[in-house]
């Protein structure tokens, strides 16, 4: 049978390129988990995806109710769930003021981390009950949250501190909107959320890999400088960023190539190792990359897990 992969944020950029790459193999059905139904189905059509190769299901990660409703809806499709890819993200580098999810969390961490945390926790039992040979839960990471790299050292750097802002509810009411308790900074909030993504993947691995046989993985697909992720950046940045990444840092990767990389993490029979953060070298060969000290801190991962459980109503 075909495999079924849920991909969040499959309406553009990396998520769409991955959906297309998987659909083209003829071996995958993609559940496109998107907040804008029409945009997602138009994007799939424009990408040339066969209409039988995907199903769009509404998911707004900025609402925990929407996440729970998505899980119910997806179960009603009565398709097995073999792979889940937590890919969607918001990035608000120029925001002066924080914005909030329906549950009152600062938006970047609320969508990128907390929404995905609840989704992944809910769908774990579905993954576990699938009979697919290699079941996987993938959370897209980033180099920018990784302070052991050059890109990760561009200020403001990711830093979760002692997680006091998160423990306080990340809502700006009696607590900070930043995980570490600091002043709002949209670029830092994004980087912090990516550290959360990488820590969450490892904590899933420690808690559930042996018990469930699910492979947990994260990745940095390369700098896909052309995606919508940078839509809120100033125009000059958007003009200069792609050539800068292409010719100066040489970290640039096309959406198509990045989609192939993520599709590999979804389906390649040789990438079954759990707990790995995948990266690719200049020749597009995958390798197991090292995470920064903070992004591989097991105590922090445990603490993050426990606080996140409380915030999303699982504990
Ligand atoms: P895009 O902005 O193109 O894609 C982000 C996707 O997330 C869109 O489909 C968007 O939906 C969706 N999304 C945003 N908010 C929500 C929400 N509340 N609920 C549901 N979906 C939502 O960016 P990329 O493709 O670049 O980003 C994909 C992933 O890749 C992210 O995890 C990012 O951190 C990561 N990444 C990107 C890099 C890059 O260089 N671009 C580098 C490293 C990692 P909509 O279409 O409706 O706006």
**In angstroms, what is the span from residue 249 Cα to ligand 1's centroid?**
22
With a CB cutoff of 8 Å and minimum separation 6, the contacts of 79 are 4, 29, 31, 55
What confidence score (pLDDT) does residue 146 get? 73
pLDDT (mean) for 30-46: 98
Which residue minimizes the CA distance to atom 39 of ligand 1?
A: 224
Q: Which of 7, 14, 193, 197 to mutate to test the pocket of ligand 1 (most atoms within 8 A of CB)?
A: 14
pLDDT digits (tens, 9 = 90+) for 118-145: 999 999 999 999 999 999 999 999 887 6
Q: If you average pLDDT over residues 35-64, what whole number do you get?
A: 97
Average pLDDT estimate for 91-99: 95
Q: Is 229 in the pocket of ligand 1 (CB under 6 A)?
A: yes
The pLDDT, as a whole number, for residue 238 is: 86
- Measured from the Cα of 66, ligand 1's closest atom is 19
- The residues with which 252 forms a beta bridge, in sequence order, are 223
Secondary element (H or E) of residue 66 = helix 64-76
pLDDT surpassing 80 at residue 248: no
Write out the DSSP string of 216-279: EEEE---B-TTSGGGTTS-HHHHHHHHHIIIIII--B--HHHHHHHHHHHHH-TT---TTEEEE
103 lines ligand 1 (CB under 6 A): no
User: Parallel, antiparallel, or unpaired: how do β-strands 276-280 and 286-288 relate?
Assistant: antiparallel
pLDDT at 311 exceeding the cut of 90:
yes
Q: Does residue 201 have its Cβ closer than 6 Å to ligand 1? A: no
Q: Report which protein residue has its CA nearest ligand 1's atom 8.
A: 9
ipTM of the complex: 0.98
Q: Evaluate if residue 302 carries a pLDDT over 90.
A: yes
**What pLDDT, on the 0 to 100 scale, is given for residue 278?**
95
CB of 114 closer than 6 angstroms to any ligand 1 atom: no
pLDDT of res. 251: 78
Check residue 228 and give its pLDDT: 82
Q: Out of 8, 44, 89, 152, give the residue to mutate to test ligand 1, the one with the largest number of ligand atoms within 8 Å of its CB.
A: 89
Supply angle C-alpha 277, 278, 283, rounded to 5: 155
Q: Number of H helices and number of E strands within the chain? A: 10, 8
Residue of 12, 38, 246 to mutate, ligand 1, most atoms within 8 A of C-beta: 12
Q: How far does residue 12's CA lie from ligand 1's centre (Å)?
A: 7
For the segment 147-201, what is each residue's pLDDT rounded down to a tens digit? 777 777 778 999 999 999 999 999 988 889 999 999 999 999 999 999 999 999 9
pLDDT above 80 for 115:
yes
Considering the chain, what is the average pLDDT of its residues?
Answer: 94
According to the model, what pLDDT value does residue 303 have? Answer: 98
Ligand 1 atom nearest the C-alpha of 112 is 32
DSSP 8-state assignment for residue 57: E
Q: What pLDDT shows up at residue 210?
A: 97
The pLDDT value given to residue 60: 98
Residue 230 C-alpha to ligand 1 middle, in angstroms? 9
CA 290 – ligand 1 centroid, Å: 23
- Low-confidence winner among 9-18, 71-80, 220-229, 251-260 (lowest mean pLDDT): 220-229
66 — pLDDT class (breaks 50, 70, 90) = very high
190 CA closest ligand 1 atom index = 34
In percent, the amount of the chain with pLDDT more than 90 equals: 81
């Amino acid at each position: 049978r075909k495999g079924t992969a849920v991909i969040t944020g499959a309406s553009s950029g990396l998520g769409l390129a991955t959906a297309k790459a998987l659909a083209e193999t003829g071996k995958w059905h993609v559940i496109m988990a998107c907040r804008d139904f029409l945009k997602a189905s138009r994007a799939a059509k424009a990408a040339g995806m066969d209409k039988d190769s995907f199903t769009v299901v509404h998911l707004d990660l900025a609402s925990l109710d929407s996440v729970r409703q998505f899980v119910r809806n997806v179960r009603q499709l009565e398709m097995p769930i073999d792979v889940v890819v937590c890919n969607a993200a918001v990035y608000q580098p120029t925001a002066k003021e924080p914005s909030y999810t329906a549950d009152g969390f600062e938006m970047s961490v609320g969508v990128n981390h907390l929404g995905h945390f609840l989704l992944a926790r809910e769908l774990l039992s579905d993954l576990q009950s699938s009979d697919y040979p290699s079941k996987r839960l993938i959370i897209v990471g980033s180099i920018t949250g990784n302070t052991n790299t050059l890109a990760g050292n561009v200020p403001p750097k990711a830093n979760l501190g002692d997680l006091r802002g998160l423990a306080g509810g990340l809502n700006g009411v009696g607590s900070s909107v930043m995980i570490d308790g600091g002043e709002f900074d949209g670029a830092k909030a994004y980087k912090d959320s990516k550290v959360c993504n990488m820590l969450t993947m490892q904590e899933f691995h420690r808690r559930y890999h042996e018990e469930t046989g699910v492979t947990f993985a994260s990745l940095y697909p390369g700098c896909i400088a052309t995606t919508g992720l940078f839509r809120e950046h100033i125009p000059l940045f958007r003009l200069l960023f792609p050539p800068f990444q292409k010719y100066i840092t040489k970290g640039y990767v096309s959406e198509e190539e990045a989609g192939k990389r993520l599709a590999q993490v979804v389906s390649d029979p040789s990438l079954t190792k759990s707990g790995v953060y995948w990266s690719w070298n200049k020749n597009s060969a995958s390798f197991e990359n090292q995470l920064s000290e903070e992004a591989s801190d097991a105590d922090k991962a445990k603490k993050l897990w426990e606080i996140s459980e409380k915030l999303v109503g699982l504990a």
